[in-house]
Amino acid sequence: MALIVQKYGGTSVANAEKIRNVARRIADAQSRGDQVVAVVSAMGGTTDALIELAGQVCDQPDDRELDLLLSTGEIVSSALLAMALRQIGHEAVSLSGSQAGIRTERSHGRARITAVQPGRIQKELAKSRVVIVAGFQGVTEEMDVTTFGRGGSDITPVALAVQLRAARCEIFTDVEGVYTADPRVVSNARKLKHIRYEEMLELASHGAKVMHPRAIELGAEFKVPILVASSFSDAPGTLIDGGEPEKEARQVMGIAHDIDVAKVTVRGVPDHPGLAAKLFAPLSEAGIRLDTVVQNASVEGKADITFTVSYQDLKRASDIVGPTVLEIGAHGWVSDPNLGKVSIVGSGMQSGAGYAADMFKALHEAEVNIELITTSGIRTTCIVDEAKVPEAVRALHDAFSLEVEE
């Protein structure tokens, strides 16, 4: 008998019929002799609706209260799924993150798991029950509920698979696996049979929301192979694991995109040591995550510093940057809220040359202007106009012939 951890995303549990479908899939796995722990997201659209509701009762919801509110989405779907399983004759119990023993640091809206205390889950499994766990949430030492950030339900099954030493971790979603690009943007995107953790991490960190990056980090750290597959079909999915570096190093294997990018440029920053630290310290204290940071060469003792943040963080970042610009004696600042980014990713890129040049050429031919460029060993990213992102993704997918099996 194998212990498997499964996860079903928001679209997969979006209504009563879909919840019954998921219950049947879990029942089938149990009937095949497996012990099942199933993690669920909130029913599709619920988290957005709860955020919207919070905005109707106050200007800026308190972090703690917002976390408690958002955690209810996953609790609703887990209780409903347990009921649907019982209805078809399978013993099941639902647990909130807290009841499932998921402990986190005290950081609302982006909490990290510090420990998983699996006692209750193990007790329920010993009674031959399917254990349904509400994803995306945990609890602090003070018993305050926390959440992991948008898309964070993916983190729960990987953490549970590690702690329970599960034989498999299966992520069921609304596409059949990980593709060479978002199949909703590129109609001929190709499903990958296999992808290495480091490549998936780059894709996920740069917008491929099929998996949350922290789930991949955790999987890589503890060497948990993760299967991504459809909750609506039995088509074979994509296996994410450590792979074999030399044999499988592909050149460009995938494209990620993100339309949630905003840019701030601080002009004429005096070229003195310590001013960049002064500019960025208050942003960091406010928990604003910087993506790209670029400083150009100084001219006559002044340089421009440009950085990007997510669109949601732009207002807070602007409120902080305005006063700091005066304090450090810079000329002024401007922002652009409507940007996006496209990235090419592939393990083989670190040993080859010319990928960046090919990328810039393809974007030029598609008449996409590049605003900023960043790279890692296995990725090159261009920041472009948000409206041009879909075109840019399709142009790159064509330029690197990603629809063709290697």
CB-side exposure of 268: number of CA atoms within 13 Å?
9
In angstroms, the CA 96 to CA 138 distance is 8
Backbone angles phi, psi at 255, to 5 degrees: -125, 130
Contact between 333 and 264 under an 8 Å Cβ cutoff? The reply is yes
DSSP state letter for 392: H
Contact between 369 and 402 under an 8 Å Cβ cutoff? The reply is no
CB of 252 to ligand ASP, least distance (A): 28
Residues 28-67 that bind ligand ADP (CB under 6 A): 41
User: Which helix (H) or strand (E) covers residue 240, if one does?
Assistant: strand 238-241
Residues 59-88 that bind ligand ASP (CB under 6 A): 73
CB of 293 to ligand ASP, least distance (A): 27
Q: Does 41 bind ligand ASP (CB under 6 A)?
A: yes
Contact between 101 and 76 under an 8 Å Cβ cutoff? The reply is no
Region of 23-31, 146-154, 184-192, 310-318 interacting with ligand ASP (CB under 6 A): 146-154
User: Nearest residue by C-beta to ligand ASP?
Assistant: 153
CB of 225 to ligand ASP, least distance (A): 20
Nearer CB in complex with ligand ADP: 306/380: 380
Helices 46-57 + 63-87 axis angle, to 10: 140
Region of 5-13, 60-68, 331-339, 390-398 interacting with ligand ADP (CB under 6 A): 5-13
What is the arrangement of strands in the sheet containing 102-104, beginning at the earlier edge strand? 113-116, 102-104, 137-139, 145-147
Q: Does 11 bind ligand ADP (CB under 6 A)?
A: yes
CB of 178 to ligand ADP, least distance (A): 5
Region of 41-49, 52-60, 181-189, 233-241 interacting with ligand ASP (CB under 6 A): 41-49
Region of 105-113, 147-155, 183-191, 253-261 interacting with Mg ion (CB under 5 A): 147-155
What is the arrangement of strands in the sheet containing 194-196, beginning at the earlier edge strand? 92-95, 130-134, 35-40, 3-8, 168-173, 226-230, 238-241, 194-196
Provide the CA 335 distance to its chain's centre, in angstroms: 25
Backbone angles phi, psi at 139, to 5 degrees: -145, 145
Q: Does 153 bind ligand ASP (CB under 6 A)?
A: yes
Residues 125-184 that bind ligand ADP (CB under 6 A): 151, 173-175, 178-179, 181-184
Nearer CB in complex with Mg ion: 166/215: 215
Residue length of the chain? 406
CB of 65 to ligand ASP, least distance (A): 17
Q: Which does 136 bind (CB under 5 to 8 A by kind): ligand ADP, ligand ASP, Mg ion, none?
A: ligand ASP
User: Please, which residues have CB within 8 angstroms of residue 202's CB and are 6 or more apart in sequence?
Assistant: 256, 343, 345, 376, 378, 379
DSSP state letter for 171: E
Q: Does 208 bind ligand ADP (CB under 6 A)?
A: yes
Q: Does 8 bind ligand ASP (CB under 6 A)?
A: no
Q: Does 101 bind ligand ASP (CB under 6 A)?
A: no
Q: Which residues bind ligand ADP (CB under 6 A)?
A: 9-12, 41, 151, 173-175, 178-179, 181-184, 203, 208-210, 254
Q: Which residues bind ligand ASP (CB under 6 A)?
A: 10, 41-42, 47, 73, 136, 150-153
